[in-house]
Structure 1
Amino acid sequence: MILQERIEILEKLGQYLQKNTPEWQQAKQLAYQKNGWFTEAFIDAATQNIITHFLSKTALQQWVTKYHLDDNIIPKNVGIVMAGNIPMVGFHDMLAVFVSGHYQTIKLSSKDDVLLKHVVQFLITQNNEVQHYISIADMLKGCDAYIATGGNNAAATFETYFGKYPHIIRKNRTSVAILNGSETAAELALLADDIHYYFGLGCRNVTKLYVPNNYDFVPVLQSFKKYQYFADHHKYKNNYDYQLSIVLLNNVYYMTNEATMLIENKQLFSPISQLHYEFYTNVADVVATLKNNDDVQCIVGKGFEPFGAAQQPSILTYADGVDTMQFLLTL
């Protein structure tokens, strides 16, 4: 397949997903049955971001132009170990390898092994040559390079197995927001999305707020109202009840809207159903500390990632700031 053929087939994928066909609806239902965190609303949110930011003709052409992609690449086989924390979280890696012209062997997460299989099958039905470019396997052996995403423990294992090959290995990361107290209700509503999308399970989800001394939390809690329905989601509610019991046993001060707890805590990572916060006196010190912290995926706030954009990365947004396409072009 030449580059233009691959671009055209990806545009067709975007059009197919946009139609929300009965076949795609069935795949979404099966994905939710296998993983209760993958609600239809959040699968649709992930799908729409892929359609808008990854599969539009403009976005794909911008990508091709930026890296001067052509048909002269010598194909290698890239092994991809995908995470499964949010729906189709590994799509961008798959897309990058496919557009670059390399072959790929994918090991899907057991938590997200329905949606991407369906996507790959659709691509094959459009052009049978795709099966030579994208294959799915239970084990990765004999690849020329590897892209692996997982927790910190998994990353250590990946280093052992893949360290001698060209590789990108990603560990646990999370995101934070810096507030100054001047945020409007509309901005806080968008921040609520950054916090709650995918139940907070993504590395681009905000898990901690930095706020000025004497900050008024009432507007923030009010902005969370549209996610109060999380209290009716059994997996989320189990986490909330468990975390609340720990807070009560330890006599820790907390604020809540009965679905999301605000806890003062210096840790960046917060458990499901909790949001940490920390007061600051000098915002420059906070920024300097965060920019030197490898655990931070992105910073949301005025002058940083716009409110509401954390879970809408563009095709040129690379996890951990490592340029995947540039890596592929050096193989």
Structure 2
Amino acid sequence: MDLQQRINAFVKLGEFLSQFTNEGIQKKDDIPHNELFFDGFSHQLQLAQEANGWFTKENVCFALQGWSNQLKENTINKWLSKYQFNNENLKTIAIIMAGNIPLVGFHDFLSVLISGQKVLVKQSSNDKHLLPFLAKYIEYVEPEFKGRISFTDEKLMDFDAIIATGSDNTARYFEYYFKDTPSIIRKNRNSVAILTGNETTDELKALSEDIFRYYGLGCRNVSKLFVPKAYDFQQFFEAMYHWNPIIHQNKYANNYDYNKAVYLMSEFEMLENGFLMIKEDDSFSSPIATVFYEYYTSTETLLETLDDKKDKIQCVVSNGILDEEIKFGHTQLPNLWDYADNVDTITFSLKIC
């Protein structure tokens, strides 16, 4: 199977996923093998929602639409243009996936297969319904993928390299257990936003998407704000307000009530608007329904802080402050070449040869 065959298969997958969006789930006439897969995948969406209360229809469809937008031939070709694909000996790369947001491990899955390797997947119990079904679709549109995709719930065996994502604690276990195996081990990371006080209402409204999408559970969600001294949070809270229906999601509301009670009993100072709390804290990882903030005195010292803590940060949202900043509202819309932790999984996969 050559590279173009692999690309074609994922392009067809993107076309299949285009039927599942927040504008509506609608069966199209021109999608290959729809008669076999559309109803089945619709059922998997329902199972995913029933198995994980955080996987609402809105968030699952948001993830599917994002992947559909990326799995276009011109986008994939742009992504792959800098690599040389000449591997002849197939290797097996195992992936231990997280389950915090829908299809969070799909990019690793895609990277391994598009580079021409075999993949062995160990899924999180929190996200186990969607990817196996999509893998079957890929095998159906490109039969040469059969035998290259495996899933397991057991101990990983017979692999040549591994990509593992987990907490800081599990990462220490991964680093020890896989110390003799080529690996990418990912730890906890969070995203931050730099505010100057000059942001427009539209920019702050866009920032709300970075904060609330997936209930803040992703490493690309903004969990920390850097603000100048004497920053007035009124405009910030006003821009967040259109997300107020989120408090009607039971799991989110339970976390909000619990964390608010903890802060009040501990006499921590915080501001809140009925569905979001903000608290001054130098940590990067904030609880659900909470965003931490920290004051900065100058851009220069802030940039030094960010550089010193770069191993804790996934994305930085700002406007005109950093060369590699993310625009407001775009953290959950990564391109194919936006690698987690800035570790190039294509290069890693190709080197295993």
Q: TM-score range by the shorter chain?
A: over 0.9
- Give the deviation of 1:131 after TM superposition: 2.5
User: Matches of residues 39-58 of structure 1 in structure 2 within 5 Å?
Assistant: 39-53=56-70, 55-58=71-74
Identity among equivalent pairs (%): 41
Q: Distance in 1 between matches of 2:167 and 2:88?
A: 32
Which residue matches 1:323? 344
Tell me, yes or no, if the aligned pair for 1:17 and 1:24 is still in contact at 8 Å: no
Which one-letter code corresponds to 2:3 in the other structure? L
Which one-letter code corresponds to 1:75 in the other structure? L
The answer as to 2:305 corresponding to 1:299 is no
Tell me, yes or no, if the aligned pair for 2:192 and 2:223 is still in contact at 8 Å: yes
Tell me, yes or no, if the aligned pair for 2:17 and 2:67 is still in contact at 8 Å: no
Q: Distance in 1 between matches of 2:293 and 2:176?
A: 36
Q: Which runs of 4+ in 1 moved over 6 A?
A: none
The answer as to 2:215 corresponding to 1:194 is no
- Give the deviation of 1:49 after TM superposition: 1.4
Find 2:139's aligned residue among 109, 115, 124. Answer: 124
Which residue matches 2:23? none
- Give the deviation of 1:226 after TM superposition: 2.3
Find 1:240's aligned residue among 247, 256, 268. Answer: 256
- Give the deviation of 1:264 after TM superposition: 1.1
* 3-state SS of 2:146 partner: helix
* 3-state SS of 1:311 partner: coil
Superimposed CA distance per residue, residues 71-100 of structure 1 (whole angstroms, 9 cap, x where no aligned partner):
x44211001100101100000000000100
Note the residue ranges of structure 1 that are not aligned, 5 or more in a row.
none
Tell me, yes or no, if the aligned pair for 1:192 and 1:223 is still in contact at 8 Å: yes
Find 2:116's aligned residue among 101, 113, 119. Answer: 101
Which one-letter code corresponds to 2:90 in the other structure? P
* 3-state SS of 1:244 partner: helix
Aligned length: 329
Tell me, yes or no, if the aligned pair for 2:5 and 2:142 is still in contact at 8 Å: no
* 3-state SS of 2:218 partner: coil
Which residue matches 2:51? 34
Which residue matches 1:16? 16
Which residue matches 1:255? 271
Which one-letter code corresponds to 1:128 in the other structure? P
Q: Distance in 1 between matches of 2:223 and 2:331?
A: 12
Tell me, yes or no, if the aligned pair for 1:174 and 1:296 is still in contact at 8 Å: yes
Which residue matches 1:270? 286
**Two-structure CA RMSD over aligned residues (Å):** 1.2
Which one-letter code corresponds to 1:298 in the other structure? C
User: Matches of residues 87-166 of structure 1 in structure 2 within 5 Å?
Assistant: 87-138=102-153, 139-166=155-182
Q: Distance in 2 between matches of 1:262 and 1:13?
A: 40
- Give the deviation of 1:125 after TM superposition: 2.1
Could you state the TM-score of these two structures normalised by the residue count of structure 2? 0.91
Superimposed CA distance per residue, residues 101-141 of structure 1 (whole angstroms, 9 cap, x where no aligned partner):
00110001100001111111111222333221111112311
Could you state the TM-score of these two structures normalised by the residue count of structure 1? 0.96
Which residue matches 1:83? 98
